[in-house]
Structure 1
């Protein structure tokens, strides 16, 4: 069975949330079908191309998501909030006549929980500061700051890294290695 794909210019990691505005018929239809069948879809990062309209090229590792909220926005569009549940590998994909991508997915092994070592406490503090922003608070995320995975995933989403850097960090399977590389990126930014 194929799963709908939602290419974005953003990376979403497991347990993360992102708000979206839907207006293209292909995505409105996709959401309707997902709600009817109680299934999710996959967010994948765009390599080249656009979120709106025509085709695009995207990475083969993305995040399976579920709908956590929806509402009509002041601009008349449908606003949804989605939450990542697991990383997935696209093994085959195609684009339908309506422009919607879909693909076969393989759920990747969940990263093991690891307690945040003292050497990365500053990263948890940085994350707490970033989460004070009203747009982030509105997502109602419940972050465990003692969990290496969650600290790393949220920083991947929130830090001003390049798309390629964010994708690389998403694809890592060791939460401690992700934190080390985030620290390295932050050191480079400071220079």
Structure 2
């Protein structure tokens, strides 16, 4: 299993973390999330993060339909480190966050340059940092997961590289599907808060199977 981007320990994680509230967007430890940043306050957030640890917290609003500039957010998010950065000619930032660890908001601080900051508590998800101590392959019911995916793809008339899917390690496969599939924000949050890969895999399978039964087909095929 791959290491975290800078091999962090609890005492090296930031005591103050900028947060980026995004409904329906999920970041998980060791997964990668590309973002197109254009709103001025979040451009400022990225600029500041680039000069100070490169860490940003991705978190969901509790009400996805809220138009509040600073909506209430769930207490749990995931911090990622900026591992790729580019600036476009029109002033946007194209960044990639690599997930480091989930966190719980201890309290929210006064914002800076328009963006929000929190004091994160890392202890509940300390195991996220133990990338070499994760569950062995076989912790996920791949047979059931792949069967569900095949039924879904057949339902939607989609094709994919099954060899690539079948050879992708458990954690990468489960996390990629959890992040890519457009489940409801509350379902995304449940995937985020699943205590470990085994439980996340069980929940992912249940959501895919419910999508098939409902005939909604709301899960897009993974892209590598």
Q: Report the TM-score when normalising by structure 1.
A: 0.78
Could you give the per-residue CA deviations for residues 117-166 of structure 1, whole angstroms, max 9, x where no partner exists? 27324536959x99x69xxxxxxxxxx8334x333222210123111011
Could you give the per-residue CA deviations for residues 90-137 of structure 1, whole angstroms, max 9, x where no partner exists? 11114526431100112222255122327324536959x99x69xxxx
Q: Determine helix, strand or coil for the equivalent of 2:120.
A: strand
Equivalent pair of 2:43/2:92 in contact (CA under 8 Å): no
| Partner of residue 91 from structure 1, selected from 97, 106, 110 | 106
Could you give the per-residue CA deviations for residues 65-87 of structure 1, whole angstroms, max 9, x where no partner exists? 11111222365422111111111
Equivalent pair of 1:6/1:44 in contact (CA under 8 Å): yes
Residue equivalent to 2:4? none
Pairwise mapping of residues 78-157 of structure 1 onto structure 2 (< 5 A)?
78-96=93-111, 98-107=113-122, 108-111=125-128, 112-117=133-138, 119-121=141-143, 123=145, 126=149, 145-147=168-170, 149-157=171-179
Residue equivalent to 1:18? 33
**In structure 1, C-alpha distance between the alignment counterparts of 2:185 and 2:193, rounded to whole Å:** 12
Decide which structure has greater strand share.
1
Residue equivalent to 1:139? none
Gap regions ≥5 residues in structure 1: 134-143
Equivalent pair of 1:115/1:146 in contact (CA under 8 Å): no
Equivalent pair of 2:79/2:103 in contact (CA under 8 Å): yes
Q: Report the TM-score when normalising by structure 2.
A: 0.68
TM superposition shift of 1:177: 1.7
Equivalent pair of 1:46/1:58 in contact (CA under 8 Å): yes
Corresponding pairs, count: 178
Residue equivalent to 1:8? 22
Distance 1:3 1:51, change over 3 A: farther
Could you give the per-residue CA deviations for residues 6-61 of structure 1, whole angstroms, max 9, x where no partner exists? 11121111122222222233222222222212241211112226799812121111
Q: Determine helix, strand or coil for the equivalent of 1:87.
A: strand
| Partner of residue 181 from structure 2, selected from 159, 179, 183 | 159
Max Rg structure:
2
Gap regions ≥5 residues in structure 2: 1-14, 162-166, 214-224
